[in-house]
Amino acid sequence: MTAPVIALDGIRKVYNAGTPVENEVLHGIDLVLAGGEFACLIGPSGSGKSTLLNIIGLLEGPTSGSYDLMGRSMQSASDDERTRARLDTLGFVFQFHHLLPAFSALENVMLPAMMRDGAFTAAGRANAEELLRAVGLGDAMRKRPTELSGGMQQRVAIARALVLSPNLVLADEPTGNLDTHSADDAFALLRRFNETRGTAFLIVTHDPRLAARCDRVIELRDGGVVSDQLQTPSAG
C-alpha cells in the first residue's frame, strides 16, 4: 500500500476558545490520504471544509489532534520547518487565482522556486516553461494576468501549484469562478497531472459533476466526516 501523504487523527479546531463566542469548527477529524489519490471534499457552506484545508496546508494549526505530513509530525515543527514543508510537499490552487498582476505568467509560475532557492534560476525557468506548455499556454507565458482569460489564469495557477513537484495539491473550489467549459478544462488538467505524475489531489468542490469524476468523495457536515466513499469516476 502507498505510504500516506497526510494522516490526521482527532483534529479539532476551536476559534475564540474560552470566550462567550467560542466556536468549535472541526470535531475530531480522522483522515488519511495516500500518495496518488484523487479525492474531493464536499459539504454545505459552514461545514468546515476550508478550515480543514487550511490545517492540511499548514496555513493554520489545529487546537488539538495530530497531523503527520509525509510521515513527519507537524505538531512540533517550527515556523521555518512548516514553511519548508509547504514548499517541498504541497501545492495550492484556489478559486481566485492570486496571480501577481505585475508579473508575467512565466514569472508567476517561477515564484515558488524563487521562494525556495532565493533567486530566479535557469532550471526554474525551464521547468516553468515546460509546465506552461503542458497546460496549453506556451504562446502566452510572457503575458500578464490581466491579458489572460479567467480559464487561462487558472491554468497558470495550476502550473504554479505543480512547479515544485509536490506530493499533494490542495485545491479550494478551483473551478468555482469559471464557466462550464473552462471548469471542465481546468479539472481535466488536474486529472491529467494526477495520472501522469502521481500527484495526489484533495479538491474542495460544490459541483456534483466534478465530484462524480473523483476516485474518492469525503463528505464533511457540521465539522465531522459523515461519509468517505471510493467510487468509479464518471467520464464527465
The amino acid that residue 34 corresponds to is A
Distance (Å, rounded) from C-alpha 118 to C-alpha 120? 7
What pLDDT was estimated at residue 170?
Answer: 95
What pLDDT was estimated at residue 2?
Answer: 62
Bridge partners (DSSP) listed for residue 24? 14
Domain ranges in the chain are 38-61+78-230
Query: Would you list the DSSP string of the chain?
Result: -PPEEEEEEEEEEEESTTSTT-EEEEEEEEEEEETT-EEEEE--TTSSHHHHHHHHTTSS--SEEEEEETTEESSS--HHHHHHHHHHHEEEEESS----TTS-HHHHHHHHHHHHHSS--HHHHHHHHHHHHHTT-TTTTTS-GGGS-HHHHHHHHHHHHHTT--SEEEEESTTTTS-HHHHHHHHHHHHHHHHHH--EEEEE-S-HHHHTTSSEEEEEETTEEEEEEE------
* Architecture in CATH of 38-61+78-230: 3-Layer(aba) Sandwich (3.40)
What pLDDT was estimated at residue 36?
Answer: 92
What pLDDT was estimated at residue 178?
Answer: 76
Residue-by-residue pLDDT tens, the chain, 236 positions: 567 999 999 999 999 888 999 999 999 999 999 999 999 999 988 899 989 999 999 999 999 999 999 988 998 888 888 888 888 899 998 877 789 999 999 999 999 888 888 888 898 899 999 999 888 889 999 999 999 988 888 889 889 999 998 999 999 888 777 788 888 888 888 898 899 999 999 999 888 888 999 999 999 999 999 999 988 887 66
Distance (Å, rounded) from C-alpha 39 to C-alpha 195? 13
What pLDDT was estimated at residue 1?
Answer: 52
What pLDDT was estimated at residue 236?
Answer: 61
* Backbone angles phi and psi of 196, in degrees to 5: -90, -30
